Structure 1
Amino acid sequence: MGARIGVLGGGQLGRMLALAGYPLGLEFRFLDPAAEASAGQVAELWVGDYEDGPLLERFGEGLDRVTLEFENVPLTALERLASRLPVYPPSRALAVAQDRLSEKAFFQRLGIPTPLFYPVERYADLLEGLERIGCPALLKTRRLGYDGKGQFLLREPAQAQEAWARLGGVPLILEAFVPFKRELSILGVRSARGEVAFYPLVENQHRGGILRKSLAPAPGAGALQPQAEALARRIMEALGYVGLLAVELFEVEGGLWANEMAPRVHNSGHWTIEGAETSQFENHLRAVLGWPLGSTAPRGHTAMLNLVGLRPDFSRVLGVPGAHLHWYGKVVRPGRKVGHITLRSDSPATLAERLEWLESLLAAVVPPTE
């Protein structure tokens, strides 16, 4: 019998962790507040509150490691489990990533450039921040926002009252809008033995705050790879990090700026399942177990398309050469990630041609209404 891994969070990322771990002889136990969490379709699922102390005690029994697939787990839950068994990534990585202000300040302490930002606790802070930063600017909740939630784009100062009415009442951060060339991400993995590996930079395209498409390796980004690896390595070493870390980046004139980090396997790394020698999911598991890391070399050129609020005709998707479908077993709802498709080719031109074909197929799907 192999090692038994406990995972906090039972969404699609956890589901894919389990699917990557079974060939390695691993067993899994998930904890999630939702009884319908998709990881429960492939592994043992415990349903309960992350802050239920007695439940956490029982959850940890018989486990060899604990990891997570969702970064908004209460730090107290990780610390309680870490007092009994190894928990990766460490709680201090979550403490930084869970608060956008702490995260930006952490990046700056490491000498990593970021957009201008200003903490907002009161309406007066918002007005002062707009004077310092200018417009356009993004007002964001410091905690819990994801996939474009908890954000307001101010195109002019006159929108301050509307933005405050929408988001005020919780700690906020005002960030300058960055005139970036494109959005990129670097995926790094660091093992419990200190071994480090990096995947090629990924180009990401968002719509409505949700990742829609990733291209890997990012076209024409080879010269930026050393800079991206250096900043990700700095973050991992400062945190004593173990596991897969994703750092979302802006490409700007003169280099890279950090936007945010995710201390877990990441949507922009889904392409690695078919598109790299070792997937991000397998390498995360290798890292937390202290096993040698697998090769992160790409297998040609890969695109990843998120299926957001729509279910395509599976047979038509699979009729596209090089296409691989991943369905998460979730109820289809508007704005919800329910699956993804990876498309791989040895030729960039062929990939682009087939990607256009696949995107036109998806564009014709009628999404469900609420």
Structure 2
Amino acid sequence: MSKVWVLGHGQLGAMLQHAAMPLSVEVIPVDIDSEQLPDLQADDVVTAEREQWPTTPVTEKLAKHPNFINLDVFGRLADRLTQKQLLDDLGLATSPWKLVDDTLAAEQVYAELGERALMKRRTGGYDGRGQFWLKQSENTQIPDDWRNEAIVEQGINFDEEMAIVGVRDREGKKFFYPLTLTLQLNGVLTASVAPLARLDKLQPKAEAMLGKLLDGLDYVGVMAMECFRVGDELIVNELAPRVHNTAHWTQAGASVSQFESHIRAVAGVPLAKPQVKGLNVMINLLGTPHDERWWAISGAEPYWYGKEVREGRKVGHITFTHSGDKKLIQGLDELKALLPERYEEVIDWVETAVQS
């Protein structure tokens, strides 16, 4: 049995572990703060469920293993400065940007990037954290503690947000999942829908962009590319060198989930082209108490992470996979009645999206 160690032991590590069982691959998520060091063998493989990590005895030992897949990629993509530089080097469209250094003035930002610009911390920050808007109409200035710690990028007036996830093996073979339409509320992924026929025309472009990244980095495993759609163009917003929330629907809606694809790639199990089973919707459960009635909804596939419920925290997700819109909408309406009132706009967005 192959053995794959996962740096990090959150829900992504648990889902990788679950997906690996039918492959006869043993996956071991590792608590980076554990006092017990992993017992690594020479032919073991190491991957990660997160882009960056602190230096601890556990992470030091994992990082020294010669089979830590994509080790050099994580730091490069975790830093938004080097991530943006990579996109520019590869000629991939991304929002115009600048480094927030000691000399940059807000007036220069407005002159070069426009009247709305978003500062993002170079490292850390996710789900809307680590961001600060500069708005010329409000004469916003750059806070001193953001200098040399952030980039600033042009505010894009996009039509929609979407993501594509792809996988690449050690020989360079690649497969891609369909473009996934996403709903972000307060910077947090709240719902996703895939596939949508109207996005088919953008699929080749998205695959070419992500494929260029995968090949350029000699990457092995699953990577996610979040994009803005502006007309018929795609602009890269963020990259994630790991399995990603936008493709959680693949657990229920594809013959090979993103988690299985990642384990296949890093463990050397042959890849297979994922076959999509139908129309898929994924709803993130954010700070929402556990409700056993979710499991009684026909067509619903809840996944509970077993984490303490806190406001805004991702504690689970619910996926629907259907070949007919009517059944899907019936299930969503049942779910709406069991979720907090704030989910009404989320379900309404989903129902509009699946009929578009």
Q: Normalising by the residue count of structure 2, what TM-score does the alignment of the two structures yield?
A: 0.89
Q: Structure 2: which amino acid aligns with 1:328?
A: Y
Shift of the alpha carbon at 1:195? 1.7
Secondary structure of 2:289's aligned partner: coil
Paired residue for 1:311? 289
- In 1, Cα distance between the equivalents of 2:331 and 2:197? 17
Shift in Å, 1:142: 0.9
Counterparts of residues 73-92 of structure 1 (less than 5 Å): 73=53, 81=62, 84-88=65-69, 90-92=70-72
Query: 2:46–2:65: 8 Å Cα contact kept in structure 1?
Result: no
Match of 1:323 in 2: 300
Shift of 1:146: 0.8
Asked if 1 retains the 8 angstrom alpha-carbon contact of 2:43 and 2:67, the reply is: no
- Relative to 1, partners in 2 of residues 1:226 and 1:78: Cα closer, same or farther, differing over 3 Å? farther
> Which deviations, in whole Å up to 9, do the C-alpha atoms of 1:187-244 show, x marking residues without a partner?
1001123221111110110111110001011451000000000011100000000000
Q: Does 1:164 align with 2:163?
A: no
User: Whole-Å Cα distance in 2 between the matches of residues 344 and 98 of structure 1?
Assistant: 32
SS at match of 1:307: strand
Match of 1:277 in 2: 255
Partner of residue 9, structure 1:
8
Q: What is the root-mean-square deviation in Å for CA atoms of aligned residues?
A: 2.4
The superposition leaves residues 293-315 of structure 1 with CA deviations (integer Å, 9 ceiling, x where unpaired) of 13312110110011000124222
User: Hey, what does 1:37 align to over in structure 2?
Assistant: none
For 1:142, the equivalent position in structure 2 comes to 122
Output aligned runs, 1:1-370, within 5 Å.
2-33=1-32, 47=34, 58-61=38-41, 64-73=44-53, 81=62, 84-88=65-69, 90-122=70-102, 124-156=104-136, 158-161=138-141, 164=143, 168-315=146-293, 317-364=294-341
Measure, in 2, the Cα distance between the counterparts of 1:326 and 1:255.
34
Q: Matched residues in 1 for 2:89 and 2:130: separation?
A: 26
TM-score (norm 1): 0.85
Distance 1:365 1:151, change over 3 A: closer
Percent sequence identity is 38
CA deviation after TM superposition for structure 1 residue 59, in Å: 4.5
Match of 2:354?
A: none
SS of structure 2 residue aligned to 1:220? helix
> Contact conserved, 2:192 with 2:246, CA < 8 A, in 1?
yes
The alignment of Structure 1 onto Structure 2 pairs a total of residues equal to 342
Q: Distance in 1 between matches of 2:342 and 2:202?
A: 37
CA distance in 1, matches of 2:137, 2:97: 16
Q: Which runs of 5+ in 2 are unaligned?
A: 344-356
Alpha-carbon shift at residue 28 of structure 1 (Å): 2.8
Write the distance in 1 (CA, Å) between the matches of 2:162 and 2:249: 14
Which digits, 9 at most, give the CA deviation of each residue in 1:40-89, with x for residues without a partner?
xxxxxxx15xxxxxx76x5534661000001113699878646543122x
